[in-house]
Structure 1
Amino acid sequence: MKKIIITIALSIVTFISAQSQQVPTGGQYEQGMGKAFGLWKKGKNTEASDLFERIAAAEPTKWLPNYYVALVNTTAAFGIKDKESINALLLKAQNALDLEMTKDQNNAELYVMQAMINTAWIVYDPMTNGQKLSGPTMGLYAKAEALAPNNPRVVFSKAEFEIGSASFWGKDTKPMCAQIDKAIALFATFKPETVFAPNWGLDRAVEAQKKCK
């Protein structure tokens, strides 16, 4: 499961690298988002998170700034062992995500984000959080799948989480590997709604597919 989290983080690094090159010039929102992605690409996680947070406060009808507050802080938490640091990062992530979940319970990307926060907690302390959060995390993926069955991030993230659990318990991973194949096919035709919309995961899915075979 720890390897899953680390590789998700690497896949997101690839995403922000591409994202920062595609940001259009335009209004204040576009410029702010572009600057935040640039900071994130440079590894300035705190500065990027703070800027996304300010954009979210100025643009309360847009869900993406808070989504990226959650994503920046969750990925920053990967691999950290210090309890206070983990708590601070994931609390910030959770608070930002909660703001958007109260506005919209029909956004599959938000459920995937919540599942990632849960998984970060599981990796940090599997003995305490594994049994407590594994079931609810699968429930989140089920909700996301019901809302967006053809979203490649939903299909892939759910399959990879299941592979982590199946590997731990020594169960067959072939059904999950078939879902990863499906996710890769979906990535080929997936078109994000905007240049800022989530578009990460393909490179990690390809790596997961190689391991399956």
Structure 2
Amino acid sequence: MKKYLLSFALAFVSLTAFAQADYDKIMTEKIGRIEACKTSEDFQTLANDFQRIGSKESTKWLPAYYSAFSYIQKGRTLMRDGKMQELDAIADQAEKQLSMAQNLAGADNAEIHLLRKMSYSLRMMVNPAQRYMTDGARAAEELNIAEKLDPANPRIALIKAEDVYFTPEQYGGSKTKGLEMFKDAQAKFKTYKPKTGLDPNWGRAEADYFLSLPAEKAK
């Protein structure tokens, strides 16, 4: 009987290890595709892929996190194309995924709070004048929470730099100050270590991009 139980236990451990290795492989592949996405359709496909992974891995928070991130990137792509009226629906999808991720990861996850900030910022851009005091305030609150939880996080520094860089000067923005903040983000990327190979590690290429612009284009 003891031999039978031992064999069963070893078989269970082997199956669990195989399933984890399979999960790690497919997640690594999908995460690696993020930077290759260029269009809103690309990001929608990736969001769907992460949702399918999450439906099979119901105890893991990262599939829902990356699905939300893909939706947010889709929204940012649409925003650059001037399709502001589509952003609320995109934010709805992102926030649904973030709620799932937070239920699994807990309320003290800085990466999730940062994506909530980005989602509220998308909503604000539908009508900045009307939504600054609502969605804009929520975005600022989520960013503050994220920074308190993980002040060394380079993605937080990156998003703060973006906000300053793209905000018009009459509203407190500054391209010069934004570029200095991108330098801070870049420095943090050089020393920050994700907890695992699957944990969020995006953003460094963006900081590098802004700091590589010729001075006349950067300003």
Q: TM-score, normalised by structure 1?
A: 0.73
Q: Is 1:32–1:51's contact at 8 Å kept on the other side of the alignment?
A: no
For 2:50, give the aligned amino acid. F
In structure 2, the residue matched to 1:96 is: 97
Name which structure has the greater RCO, CA cutoff 8 Å, separation 6+.
1
Secondary structure of 1:44's partner?
A: helix
Whether the 8 Å contact between 2:88 and 2:123 is mirrored in structure 1 is no
Q: Which residue of 2 aligns with 1:19?
A: none
Shift of 1:37: 4.0
Letter matched to residue 194 of structure 1: T
**Matching residue's letter, 1:125:** N
Residues of 2 paired with 1:114 and 1:35: CA distance? 25
Q: Which residue of 1 aligns with 2:148?
A: 146
- 1:28 is matched with 22
Aligned-pair CA distance for 1:165? 3.6
Q: 1:44 is matched with which residue? A: 42
- Could you tell me how far apart the structure 2 residues matched to 1:127 and 1:196 are? 38
In our comparison, the structure showing a higher alpha carbon Rg is 2
Q: Deviation per CA, 1:92-115, whole angstroms, max 9, x where unpaired?
A: 111000112234111111111111
Give the 3 Å change call, closer, same or farther, for CA 88–136 of structure 1 in structure 2.
closer
Q: Against the structure 1 CA distance between its residues 192 and 75, is the aligned structure 2 distance closer, same or farther, given a 3 Å change threshold? A: same
CA distance, structure 1, for counterparts of residue 196 and residue 110 of structure 2 = 16
CA distance in 2, matches of 1:161, 1:82: 18
Structure 2 residues not aligned, in runs of 5+: 1-19
Matched residue, 1:196: 198
For structure 1, which runs of at least 5 residues remain unmatched after alignment? 1-25
Q: Distance in 1 between matches of 2:170 and 2:125?
A: 13
Does 1:71 find its partner at 2:73? no
TM-score calculated relative to the size of structure 2: 0.71
Tell me the amino acid that sits aligned with residue 45 of structure 1: F
